[in-house]
Amino acid sequence: MWDVIVVGAGPAGTAASKRCAEYGLNTLLLEKRKLPRDKVCDGMVMGPVAHTLIKQEFGDIPKNILSKPYYLSGYMFHVPGIGSQKLDNLTPLAWRRDLDYWMNQKAQAKGVEIWQASRVTGLRLKEQGFSVEIEQDKQKSELEARFVVGADGATSIVRKFLFPELKVRYSQIYQECHQGELDLDKKYYHWFYPVEYAPLNFGAHHKGDFIIIDVGGGLGQIKQFLIWVKNFLAKNYNFDISQKPVWRGGCLEPVMYKQVTSYTFSPAKGNALLVGDAGCLPMPVSGEGISPGIKSGLLAADSIIRAIESGEQPDRIYLTKVEGIISVFKEIYPRFKGISEETKAGGHSLPEVLRDAYHSTLRMF
């Protein structure tokens, strides 16, 4: 029997597994894809919490892990037809496949066993913990663990088994990677908020020799909006609309802030704890997931360790510890309302409202 099985090898799961292994727990980290794996994410280490936690837990990010530019100077917020605002914030920039894999290797060095291409297909409560059913190369097997940490993203299979009746609302993120350059300052990430398409928005930035385009919105809204985005970039920023992307992908993001902050959904049950996006904990406004992912992963590990030492229930410990993250969400979430109200009013002050909203997330997390 494993002491701890962590599902998902992103920053949240890797941090949780590393902390457990450092304590001496027999820890297994399961990842459904082969490593290193691509991830739909801009790879920006945005806030001071992320900087501090990564340095504290994994060390300084090596230069070969970062992409060019190695650091962004900050972010630009553009509202077409109205104006732009700049927010300076030195931000390390990396490809997530490289950043996550570097963290994976750090965890392995501390004693974590990692099984890649191992998909969890079932979770069953047992008297002494859980039975975890996995599939590898089309072969199914069962593992036993005292504790389980679900770090398997927005559509978490662990969360589905723990809370089968839970209805999760999602937003959709679509990303394309193109060869070339845009007539945009390479030192900044550029967010665009066209008022007529709100709450749909998109981002663009340079990464090495590539252009990264991100489009975000509700389910089923992305396809038509993407056509407008590419035409807009072609007309205003010299985007070659005829070229095909060299890579593209999509993902979902849970939009559960009301449920999390009102405690109608709690990311833990018994000896199973949910972290990062699996626990519906991406940052409000920015959607950033690295900071709350690593933080909640470490809190989950600390809760398991304390439960072993004290005999307390790990879910109760974790829910108390994660209140710090939730309190930050409570303070930031009203910024959504401010953005929505300004958009409905015509968006004349929207660049400033967006800048201030993002600034608040960086100050608080």
CA–CA gap between residue 149 and residue 45 (Å, rounded): 23
Beta strands in the chain (DSSP E): 2-7, 27-30, 66-79, 83-94, 113-115, 119-126, 129-136, 139-150, 170-179, 188-192, 201-207, 210-218, 247-254, 268-269, 272-274
CA–CA gap between residue 305 and residue 140 (Å, rounded): 30
pLDDT tens-place string over residues 263-293: 999 999 999 999 999 999 999 999 999 999 9
Confidence at 71, pLDDT banded by 50, 70, 90:
very high
- Output the domain CATH number for residue 176: 3.50.50.60
Q: What is the DSSP letter of 277?
A: G
CA–CA gap between residue 303 and residue 324 (Å, rounded): 14
Domain that holds residue 339: 2-364
Q: What pLDDT sits at residue 48?
A: 87
Query: Total domain count for the chain?
Result: 1
pLDDT tens-place string over residues 230-248: 999 999 999 999 999 999 9
Q: What pLDDT sits at residue 363?
A: 85
DSSP 121-157: EEEEEETTEEEEEEEETTEEEEEEEEEEEE---TT-H
Q: Give the angle 226-222-173 at the CA atoms, nearest 5°.
A: 105
CA–CA gap between residue 272 and residue 149 (Å, rounded): 6
CA–CA gap between residue 363 and residue 268 (Å, rounded): 27
CA–CA gap between residue 197 and residue 140 (Å, rounded): 46
pLDDT of residue 364 exceeding 90, the answer is no
pLDDT > 90: what percent of the chain? 95
pLDDT of residue 148 exceeding 90, the answer is yes
pLDDT of residue 49 exceeding 90, the answer is no
Structure tokens at 307: 């439960």
Q: What does pTM read for this prediction?
A: 0.96
pLDDT of residue 127 exceeding 90, the answer is no
